[in-house]
């Protein structure tokens, strides 16, 4: 719960910085070579799903990984709450 709450606060308070970073670095990154980016996005999504399936493992490593994932989920929630209605939509996988 603390990791998610920390993420929500971070995403909410830094929404402009997150958006400007995404706008400057990521939004048009794939324009010149979309096939490579499709491959990268597919790999990242597969890895993300694999990781989600392992998170409930009770080892210390997966516990810490789960905390990072929960914080990232919170960042996404906080960002979306703070930017609601502003048109500053960032695809969820771009946060990853």
Q: Which domains does the chain have, with CATH numbers?
A: 2-95 (1.10.439.20)
For the entire predicted model, the pTM comes to 0.88
Give the pLDDT score at 84: 87
56 versus 64: the higher-pLDDT residue is 64
Spatial distance between the Cα atoms of 40 and 67, rounded to a whole number of angstroms: 24
Q: Looking at residues 64-90, what average pLDDT do you find?
A: 93
pLDDT tens digits, 3-56? 999 999 999 999 999 999 999 998 888 898 899 989 999 999 999 999 989 998
26 is written with which tokens?
């990521």
Which positions ≥6 away from 3 have C-beta within 8 Å? 67, 68, 70, 71, 74
Q: What angle do CA 9, 42, 85 make, to 5 degrees?
A: 35
Q: Looking at residues 44-71, what average pLDDT do you find?
A: 92
Name the CA dihedral angle for 57, 63, 66, 70, rounded to a multiple of 10 degrees. 140
Give the pLDDT score at 81: 95
Residue 58 pLDDT > 90, yes or no?
no
């Amino acid at each position: 719960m603390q990791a998610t709450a920390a993420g929500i606060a971070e995403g909410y308070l830094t929404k402009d910085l997150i958006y400007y970073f995404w706008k400057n670095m990521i939004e048009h990154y794939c324009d010149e070579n979309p096939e490579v980016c499709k491959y990268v996005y597919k790999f990242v999504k597969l890895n993300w799903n694999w990781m989600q399936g392992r998170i409930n493992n009770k080892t210390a490593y997966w516990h810490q990984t789960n905390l990072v994932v929960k914080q990232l989920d919170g960042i996404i929630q906080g960002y979306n709450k703070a930017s609601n209605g502003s048109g500053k939509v960032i695809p969820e996988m771009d946060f990853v």
